[in-house]
Structure 1
Amino acid sequence: MHATERLYLYSRFERFWHWAQTVLILVLLVTGFEIHGTFTLLGFARAFAVHNFCAWSWLVLYAFIVFWMAVTDEWKHYVPTFLKLMDVVRYYLSGIFKGEPHPVPKSERAKHNPLQRLTYLGIVSFLVPFQMITGFLYYTYNQWPQLGFAGSLTLKAVAVLHTLGAFAFLAFVIVHVYMTTTGHTLTAHIAAMFTGYEDVPRNGVKPGGVEGRTEENR
């Protein structure tokens, strides 16, 4: 078994928004598919109300997350890099099943590997805004003439795009849940998002704090 060291990687606010966003996305998926007519659980009217409440809550939370990342330098963990990207891809395709060590261990300076960085950046910069914009357009359908959208959009097109976005989020949730089981134990990554601490392999590099992180961030 590889020697490990215990690092504090996730601040309180990061853990809060992670789980709050998780709950909001899951509720939005369930109520959204009910509104779409996939099944009946809450009833259309209640599902519609809950869906809209969660959508606005997510927009507010998203704004706070972006602001927090900007003022704490956490954005540096999401800067894309292709260095060792293919090594990470090969690891998840085969190396992980052979017991090989992760090619890019987590550290306080780099919490996310190259594949995670590209994935999270794509979600934060494209998929989330895409879903919020199409959802807003769907919600304000009756105001399209006043907003100047009449004639340039169709409700069906917006509905299809919003539904495709929902399936993309569903796929991400499934893959993300699977990836949480790929730590040195099945629950290691999940536990880290509750405690903030994660055991990572020792790599001979002294732990270094992310610039801007202080005790007050914890």
Structure 2
Amino acid sequence: MSSTKLYLYTRFERFWHWAQATLIIILLVTGFEVHGTFTLFGFGSAVEIHNFCAWTWLVLYAFIVFWIITTGEWRHYVPTFVKMFEVIQYYVSGIFKGEPHPVPKSERVKHNPLQRITYLGIVSVLVPFQIITGFMYYLYNDWPTFGWAFDLSTIAILHTVGAFAMLVFFVVHVYMTTTGHHPFSHIKAMVTGYEELEAENK
């Protein structure tokens, strides 16, 4: 079947996508090492790398939010339940039968209803949750100055729970990149900016 290419992902969008992916991987690896899961960099180095990547991600996150708001990209993340059931049904069974996606990508619709809710949840809930718990963890020695009386182990557990949630999202996200009409078509799109679409979905 013939196909067409549509430019959907700008240079900055691709940059922050891969930058975030790299930072998340490093944060997960160093974070689990700090918790004693394995030894790779050594505890001291793992803490330093983790903190550096956390601050880097915080700055990047601020730029991403600013970019999404000022460019109008926020429209692609507005939740909608239109065809939500059809999309879920597609991923549960339709995709294995070779059925067409119920919500094909276009310049007006980059993300399907399920992606919108997921990405919005990540950006507005999970990432801020990790930032807050991580920041509290980072400032542990200054708690008395701020008058904070939290339980450190509770903060550590909450931050770890958030890390596992991020890991689950990461694994599912990587799997979903293989569900295009070619196993690496979605990954290629995030490298070149061009999404390859079936001609009938233009």
State whether TM-score is above 0.5: yes
CA displacement at 1:200 relative to structure 2: 1.4
Q: Distance in 1 between matches of 2:77 and 2:156?
A: 31
Quick one: distance in 1 between partners of 2:151 and 2:102? 47
Matches within 5 A, 1:35-184: 35-150=34-149, 153-184=150-181
Number of the residue aligned with 1:213: none
Percent of aligned pairs sharing the same letter: 69
Partner of 2:30: 31
In the alignment, what sits opposite 2:19? 20
Large movers: runs of 4+ above 6 Å: none
Unaligned runs of 5+ in 2: none
Query: Residue 104 of structure 1: SS of its match in structure 2?
Result: coil
Distance in 2 between the 1:30 and 1:111 partners?
31
Helix, strand or coil for the counterpart of 2:76? Answer: helix
- Match of residue 201 from structure 1: 198
- Matching residue's letter, 1:148: G
Count of residues in Structure 1 that have an aligned counterpart in Structure 2:
202
The 8 Å contact of residues 105 and 201 in structure 1, kept in 2 or not, is answered as no
CA RMSD across the alignment = 0.9
Indicate how the Cα distance of structure 1 residues 204 and 17 shifts in structure 2: closer, same or farther if over 3 A, else same: closer
Gaps of 5+ in 1: 206-218
Deviations 1:70-124 (A, max 9, x none): 1100111000000000100000000000000000000011100000000000000
The one-character-per-residue Cα deviations of 1:155-198 (angstroms, maximum 9, x if unpaired) are: 00000000000000000010000000000100000000000001
